[in-house]
Amino acid sequence: MTAYDIPAGPKISPARMTWKFLRDRAGTIPAFHEEFGDTFSLRILPGPRTLVVFSDPADIKEIFAADPSQFHAGKGNEILKPVMGEHSVLLTDDGEHQRARKLLMPAFSGASMRAYQPLVEAIAKVEVDSWHDGDTLVSLDRMNAITLDVILQVVFGVTDESRLAVLRPKVNRMVNIDAKMLLAWSYPKLFVLPPWRGYFKNQQEVDKLLYAEIAERRAAHDLDGRDDVLSRLLRVGDPSTGSGTGDSDEPLTDAEMRDQLVTLLLAGHETTASALSWTLHELGRNPEVHAQAVTAADTGDDAYLEACLKESMRLHPIIDFVARTLQSDQVVAGRRLPRGTTVTPSIMLSHSRESNFADSHLFKPERFVGEKIAANTWIPFGGGVRRCIGAAFSLMEGTVVLREVLQRYEVTADAVAPNKLRNITNVPADKAPIRLTARAV
């Protein structure tokens, strides 16, 4: 018989543990860390199955570097399959995941980022133009409006105003994946009943529009001159454009393209909006940092604005853990764990660890200026072969938006906004209201 070495953890029924894990990780995970140390286990449903939480940077490094064929990530996100689709890069593993990632990566290169920047600037300007001196803004809503338009225009490449007007409300409805909708995905029969019927119909309408957009773009003669993610994805692997991945990968089919577009929408829209909203909130509460950020916006010091975003993502992890499920018995951090165990590097614990970040409860963007942050300590985008594809995109987008806001307005905010888990992201529960004061120009 094989002896396993599963770390200790709370003696709570799996049903209660699952509820706590889904509803209040910000409260429970640090408390378990305090009680059980850097590595502990939880029993959660369905199954119940064992989840082992890790927070030591050396252990996290080992998990990120582990063999992806034995440390699967896709399965853990399966609940999103009915909306993202079976080909989604987020949901697949092994060869299919590798192929999707390879075909997606060129659209997220440094050169691609520079090409997207002017359109992101234009979108942010339109939003900031609609603000007024003395306004109190619900920053999460306003940032969601910007990041949605960035996905529609910069990722999908839809810039025609009449098409945007049709897509915006439909896509907005599609991204609202609450617990009720997730339930229907486990019990598809519910989709014939309202409100699930309406959600499903809306999703079919969005799919129809996306397929039409893909077909139109495939037929377009100006594809080479277009700077949006979809056009770049269509060029990748197309022998006629010579912009393949360098080997014999077949280009993405229409169905694969649809699934990747919806994945980019769901992975990239609310996450970036939440990061921006927390950043504005922190700037609004930290006058000294705010003053430095305003100077940075005026002088084009993007590195400081990016540092503000990074520090805000550290203090308020948008996604607070990542997961890999073992496909065979494995030794992880010196412990023998059985097949089926889910190992989870905790982003939340990593970011609040004093040995990783001194005064970890404080908002100090200067940590990210010049100084090198130790590997596997700042991990808001996960790591290894599954690291977020949109990391550079969201930092570029966030920096541009902060610059556009701070060149025109000073922002102030009140008390700490508590954390709330919404859909798949941590957001400020009060949507982080900020007050605007127009700057003298």
Residues at the interface with ligand HEM (CB under 6 A): 73, 89-90, 101, 155, 263-264, 267-268, 271-272, 275, 318-319, 322, 380-383, 386-390, 393-394
Nearer to ligand HEM, 275 or 434 (CB): 275
Nearer to ligand HEM, 388 or 413 (CB): 388
Nearer to ligand HEM, 123 or 322 (CB): 322
DSSP state of 154: I
Distance of CA 172 to the CA centre of its chain: 16
Nearer to ligand HEM, 233 or 267 (CB): 267
Nearer to ligand HEM, 190 or 315 (CB): 315
Q: What are phi and psi of 303, to 5 degrees?
A: -60, -40
What is the rounded radius of gyration, in angstroms, for the C-alpha atoms of the chain?
Answer: 22
CB atoms within 10 A of CB 55: 25
Nearer to ligand HEM, 39 or 92 (CB): 92
Which residues on adjacent β-strands are paired with residue 54?
345
Prior bond of 338 cis (ω within 30°): no
C-alpha–C-alpha distance, residues 389 and 89, integer Å: 10
Whether 241 and 224 have beta carbons less than 8 Å apart is answered as: yes
Rounded least distance, CB 198 to ligand HEM, Å? 27
Rounded least distance, CB 74 to ligand HEM, Å? 7
Whether 375 and 61 have beta carbons less than 8 Å apart is answered as: yes
Which residues on adjacent β-strands are paired with residue 332?
335
Nearer to ligand HEM, 112 or 292 (CB): 112
**Alpha helices by DSSP H, 105-221:** 110-129, 139-149, 161-175, 179-186, 196-219
Rounded least distance, CB 88 to ligand HEM, Å? 8
Residue 357 DSSP SS3: coil
Nearer to ligand HEM, 268 or 433 (CB): 268
C-alpha–C-alpha distance, residues 337 and 335, integer Å: 6
Rounded least distance, CB 62 to ligand HEM, Å? 14
Counting beta carbons within 10 angstroms of the beta carbon of residue 217, is it exposed (0 to 12), middle (13 to 18) or buried (19 or more)? buried
Beta-strand runs (E) in 26-131: 40-44, 49-54, 71-72
C-alpha–C-alpha distance, residues 67 and 70, integer Å: 6
Helix (H) or strand (E) holding 412: strand 409-412
The single residue listed with the structure tokens 């599954």 is: 386
Nearer to ligand HEM, 90 or 210 (CB): 90
C-alpha–C-alpha distance, residues 304 and 292, integer Å: 8
Nearer to ligand HEM, 128 or 275 (CB): 275
Going by C-alpha positions, the residue among 259, 274, 269 that lies closest to residue 320 is 274
Whether 310 and 365 have beta carbons less than 8 Å apart is answered as: yes
Please write down the long-range contacts of 96-102, taking CB distance under 8 Å and 24 or more positions apart: 97/68, 98/385, 99/249, 100/252, 100/256, 100/260, 101/385, 101/389, 102/245, 102/249
Nearer to ligand HEM, 77 or 412 (CB): 77
